[in-house]
Amino acid sequence: MSDERNFRSSYYEKVGCRGVEEKKSLEILMKEKPWDKVKLKQFCLRFTVPAAYRNLVWKVLLGNIIKNNQSAHSRTEQYQDLLYAVEMLEMVDMKALRSQILMKMWLLENEERKPPNFPETNFCSADTFLPITNALLELYSDEVDVYWLAKSLTEVVRSTQKELPKLKEAIWDKLCSGAPKILAFTAVMLVITLRRNILRARNAEEVLKCVAEISEQCKEVVANKAIDLWQYYGAQPQSDQIKK
Protein backbone atom coordinates (compact mmCIF):
# COMPACT_ATOMS: atom_id res chain seq x y z
CA MET A 1 0.00 0.00 0.00
CA SER A 2 2.86 2.34 0.89
CA ASP A 3 4.63 1.59 -2.41
CA GLU A 4 1.42 2.27 -4.32
CA ARG A 5 0.96 5.60 -2.55
CA ASN A 6 4.57 6.60 -3.23
CA PHE A 7 4.12 5.71 -6.90
CA ARG A 8 0.96 7.84 -7.11
CA SER A 9 2.65 10.77 -5.37
CA SER A 10 5.62 10.56 -7.74
CA TYR A 11 3.32 10.34 -10.76
CA TYR A 12 1.19 13.32 -9.68
CA GLU A 13 4.31 15.42 -9.14
CA LYS A 14 5.73 14.54 -12.57
CA VAL A 15 2.52 15.53 -14.38
CA GLY A 16 2.22 18.78 -12.44
CA CYS A 17 -0.51 17.70 -10.02
CA ARG A 18 1.55 17.65 -6.86
CA GLY A 19 -1.30 18.85 -4.66
CA VAL A 20 -3.83 16.16 -5.63
CA GLU A 21 -3.06 13.74 -2.80
CA GLU A 22 -2.54 16.56 -0.30
CA LYS A 23 -6.01 17.90 -1.10
CA LYS A 24 -7.53 14.44 -0.63
CA SER A 25 -5.76 14.07 2.71
CA LEU A 26 -7.05 17.44 3.89
CA GLU A 27 -10.59 16.59 2.79
CA ILE A 28 -10.43 13.46 4.95
CA LEU A 29 -9.17 15.47 7.94
CA MET A 30 -11.91 18.07 7.54
CA LYS A 31 -14.59 15.36 7.52
CA GLU A 32 -13.54 14.23 11.00
CA LYS A 33 -15.74 15.52 13.81
CA PRO A 34 -14.49 16.97 16.00
CA TRP A 35 -11.56 18.32 14.00
CA ASP A 36 -8.16 17.09 15.14
CA LYS A 37 -6.06 20.25 15.57
CA VAL A 38 -2.81 18.33 15.96
CA LYS A 39 -3.29 16.56 12.62
CA LEU A 40 -4.30 19.80 10.92
CA LYS A 41 -1.21 21.57 12.27
CA GLN A 42 1.00 18.73 11.07
CA PHE A 43 -0.63 18.98 7.63
CA CYS A 44 0.07 22.73 7.49
CA LEU A 45 3.68 22.14 8.50
CA ARG A 46 4.20 19.73 5.60
CA PHE A 47 2.05 21.21 2.84
CA THR A 48 0.48 24.42 1.56
CA VAL A 49 -3.23 24.57 2.38
CA PRO A 50 -5.45 24.66 -0.74
CA ALA A 51 -7.05 28.09 -1.14
CA ALA A 52 -10.57 26.64 -0.97
CA TYR A 53 -9.93 25.33 2.57
CA ARG A 54 -7.63 28.05 3.91
CA ASN A 55 -10.28 30.20 5.61
CA LEU A 56 -11.80 27.24 7.46
CA VAL A 57 -8.45 25.66 8.40
CA TRP A 58 -7.08 28.93 9.76
CA LYS A 59 -10.22 29.50 11.83
CA VAL A 60 -9.99 25.99 13.28
CA LEU A 61 -6.29 26.33 14.17
CA LEU A 62 -6.69 29.81 15.65
CA GLY A 63 -9.73 28.85 17.70
CA ASN A 64 -12.08 31.08 15.71
CA ILE A 65 -14.32 28.36 14.31
CA ILE A 66 -18.01 28.82 14.91
CA LYS A 67 -19.63 25.78 16.52
CA ASN A 68 -23.24 26.79 16.03
CA ASN A 69 -25.43 29.44 14.43
CA GLN A 70 -26.07 31.19 17.75
CA SER A 71 -22.38 31.81 18.42
CA ALA A 72 -21.88 32.87 14.80
CA HIS A 73 -24.65 35.41 15.22
CA SER A 74 -23.13 36.60 18.51
CA ARG A 75 -19.72 37.11 16.90
CA THR A 76 -21.25 39.06 14.03
CA GLU A 77 -23.21 41.19 16.50
CA GLN A 78 -20.03 41.99 18.44
CA TYR A 79 -18.33 43.04 15.21
CA GLN A 80 -21.27 45.27 14.27
CA ASP A 81 -21.42 46.79 17.77
CA LEU A 82 -17.73 47.70 17.61
CA LEU A 83 -18.13 49.13 14.12
CA TYR A 84 -21.09 51.23 15.25
CA ALA A 85 -19.22 52.39 18.37
CA VAL A 86 -16.11 53.65 16.56
CA GLU A 87 -18.35 55.58 14.18
CA MET A 88 -20.52 57.13 16.91
CA LEU A 89 -17.47 58.00 19.03
CA GLU A 90 -15.80 59.49 15.94
CA MET A 91 -12.69 57.44 16.61
CA VAL A 92 -11.96 57.13 12.90
CA ASP A 93 -13.02 58.61 9.58
CA MET A 94 -15.37 55.99 8.12
CA LYS A 95 -13.96 56.78 4.68
CA ALA A 96 -10.53 55.62 5.83
CA LEU A 97 -8.96 52.34 4.75
CA ARG A 98 -10.86 49.33 6.08
CA SER A 99 -7.75 48.12 7.88
CA GLN A 100 -7.60 51.41 9.79
CA ILE A 101 -11.25 51.08 10.81
CA LEU A 102 -10.75 47.48 11.93
CA MET A 103 -7.72 48.52 13.97
CA LYS A 104 -9.78 51.18 15.78
CA MET A 105 -12.36 48.50 16.58
CA TRP A 106 -9.59 46.28 17.94
CA LEU A 107 -8.24 49.12 20.09
CA LEU A 108 -11.72 49.90 21.43
CA GLU A 109 -12.27 46.25 22.31
CA ASN A 110 -8.97 46.27 24.21
CA GLU A 111 -9.75 49.63 25.87
CA GLU A 112 -6.80 51.36 24.22
CA ARG A 113 -6.86 54.89 22.80
CA LYS A 114 -3.84 54.39 20.55
CA PRO A 115 -1.82 51.35 19.41
CA PRO A 116 0.40 50.23 22.31
CA ASN A 117 3.91 48.88 21.91
CA PHE A 118 4.38 45.15 22.36
CA PRO A 119 6.56 44.47 25.43
CA GLU A 120 8.39 41.60 23.67
CA THR A 121 9.91 43.85 21.00
CA ASN A 122 8.84 47.41 21.84
CA PHE A 123 7.40 47.58 18.31
CA CYS A 124 4.12 49.40 17.76
CA SER A 125 1.20 46.95 17.64
CA ALA A 126 -0.18 48.77 14.59
CA ASP A 127 2.84 47.55 12.62
CA THR A 128 1.60 44.02 13.24
CA PHE A 129 -2.18 44.39 13.07
CA LEU A 130 -2.34 46.53 9.91
CA PRO A 131 -0.21 44.33 7.58
CA ILE A 132 -2.09 41.25 8.77
CA THR A 133 -5.45 42.91 8.18
CA ASN A 134 -4.47 44.21 4.74
CA ALA A 135 -3.34 40.72 3.73
CA LEU A 136 -6.57 39.13 4.98
CA LEU A 137 -8.73 41.73 3.21
CA GLU A 138 -7.15 40.60 -0.05
CA LEU A 139 -7.95 36.96 0.72
CA TYR A 140 -11.46 37.16 2.18
CA SER A 141 -14.57 39.22 1.51
CA ASP A 142 -16.24 38.64 4.90
CA GLU A 143 -14.95 41.38 7.20
CA VAL A 144 -16.24 39.57 10.28
CA ASP A 145 -13.86 36.71 9.48
CA VAL A 146 -11.09 39.19 8.67
CA TYR A 147 -11.47 40.94 12.02
CA TRP A 148 -11.41 37.78 14.15
CA LEU A 149 -8.57 36.20 12.19
CA ALA A 150 -6.54 39.42 12.34
CA LYS A 151 -6.87 39.54 16.13
CA SER A 152 -5.72 35.94 16.52
CA LEU A 153 -2.85 36.20 14.05
CA THR A 154 -1.61 39.37 15.72
CA GLU A 155 -1.22 37.42 18.93
CA VAL A 156 0.55 34.57 17.12
CA VAL A 157 3.22 36.76 15.49
CA ARG A 158 3.38 39.78 17.82
CA SER A 159 7.06 39.18 18.63
CA THR A 160 8.20 38.60 15.04
CA GLN A 161 6.44 41.17 12.89
CA LYS A 162 9.18 42.76 10.79
CA GLU A 163 8.50 40.64 7.68
CA LEU A 164 4.68 40.72 7.80
CA PRO A 165 4.07 42.86 4.69
CA LYS A 166 5.98 40.36 2.52
CA LEU A 167 4.41 37.11 3.66
CA LYS A 168 2.67 34.76 1.25
CA GLU A 169 -0.24 32.51 2.17
CA ALA A 170 2.05 29.46 2.36
CA ILE A 171 4.03 31.17 5.14
CA TRP A 172 0.82 32.06 6.98
CA ASP A 173 -0.12 28.36 6.91
CA LYS A 174 2.99 27.58 8.95
CA LEU A 175 2.36 30.44 11.38
CA CYS A 176 -1.20 29.25 12.01
CA SER A 177 0.12 25.75 12.72
CA GLY A 178 2.35 27.08 15.52
CA ALA A 179 5.70 27.64 13.79
CA PRO A 180 6.59 31.36 14.03
CA LYS A 181 10.31 30.55 13.63
CA ILE A 182 9.70 30.28 9.88
CA LEU A 183 9.83 34.10 9.85
CA ALA A 184 13.56 33.91 10.57
CA PHE A 185 14.07 31.74 7.48
CA THR A 186 11.89 34.13 5.48
CA ALA A 187 14.10 37.04 6.52
CA VAL A 188 17.25 35.10 5.55
CA MET A 189 15.89 34.18 2.12
CA LEU A 190 14.68 37.74 1.57
CA VAL A 191 18.21 39.07 2.12
CA ILE A 192 19.80 36.33 -0.01
CA THR A 193 17.35 36.86 -2.88
CA LEU A 194 17.79 40.65 -2.86
CA ARG A 195 21.51 40.61 -2.03
CA ARG A 196 22.65 42.28 -5.28
CA ASN A 197 20.30 45.22 -4.87
CA ILE A 198 21.06 45.44 -1.15
CA LEU A 199 24.82 45.53 -1.80
CA ARG A 200 24.31 48.44 -4.19
CA ALA A 201 22.37 50.40 -1.58
CA ARG A 202 24.21 53.36 -0.08
CA ASN A 203 22.23 53.70 3.14
CA ALA A 204 19.54 52.07 5.28
CA GLU A 205 16.74 53.90 3.47
CA GLU A 206 17.77 52.40 0.12
CA VAL A 207 17.91 48.92 1.68
CA LEU A 208 14.34 49.32 2.96
CA LYS A 209 13.29 50.56 -0.47
CA CYS A 210 14.69 47.38 -2.06
CA VAL A 211 12.57 45.27 0.26
CA ALA A 212 9.46 47.43 -0.16
CA GLU A 213 9.58 47.19 -3.96
CA ILE A 214 9.96 43.41 -4.15
CA SER A 215 7.92 41.94 -7.02
CA GLU A 216 5.12 39.38 -6.65
CA GLN A 217 7.22 36.79 -8.49
CA CYS A 218 10.12 37.41 -6.14
CA LYS A 219 7.82 37.10 -3.11
CA GLU A 220 6.79 33.66 -4.35
CA VAL A 221 10.42 32.60 -4.75
CA VAL A 222 11.31 33.85 -1.26
CA ALA A 223 8.34 32.05 0.30
CA ASN A 224 9.10 28.73 -1.39
CA LYS A 225 12.82 28.85 -0.58
CA ALA A 226 12.11 29.86 3.02
CA ILE A 227 9.80 26.87 3.46
CA ASP A 228 12.39 24.53 1.91
CA LEU A 229 15.13 25.87 4.20
CA TRP A 230 12.88 25.69 7.26
CA GLN A 231 11.92 22.08 6.48
CA TYR A 232 15.56 21.11 5.83
CA TYR A 233 16.61 22.29 9.29
CA GLY A 234 13.92 20.28 11.04
CA ALA A 235 10.61 22.09 10.98
CA GLN A 236 8.85 21.75 14.31
CA PRO A 237 5.87 23.60 15.76
CA GLN A 238 6.18 25.20 19.17
CA SER A 239 5.28 22.44 21.60
CA ASP A 240 3.05 24.64 23.73
CA GLN A 241 0.99 25.70 20.72
CA ILE A 242 0.53 22.34 19.04
CA LYS A 243 -1.00 20.88 22.20
CA LYS A 244 -3.76 23.49 22.28
pLDDT per position as a tens digit, 117-142 = 887 667 888 988 998 899 889 888 89
Q: Please count the helices (runs of H) and the strands (runs of E) in the chain.
A: 14, 0
pTM to 2 decimals?
A: 0.60
What does the pLDDT look like over 24-78, one tens digit per residue? 888 888 888 888 888 888 888 777 888 888 888 888 888 776 555 556 678 889 9
Rg of the chain over Cα atoms, rounded to whole angstroms, equals 20
Confidence band of 160 (pLDDT split at 50, 70, 90)? low
Flag whether pLDDT at 95 surpasses 90. yes
Q: Which CATH architecture has domain 66-160?
A: Orthogonal Bundle (1.10)
Flag whether pLDDT at 180 surpasses 80. no
**C-alpha to C-alpha distance for 241 and 176, rounded to whole angstroms:** 10
Where are the chain's structural domains?
66-160, 162-244
CATH top-level class of 162-244:
mainly alpha
Confidence band of 203 (pLDDT split at 50, 70, 90)? confident
* Cβ neighbours of residue 113 closer than 8 Å, sequence gap 6 or more: 107
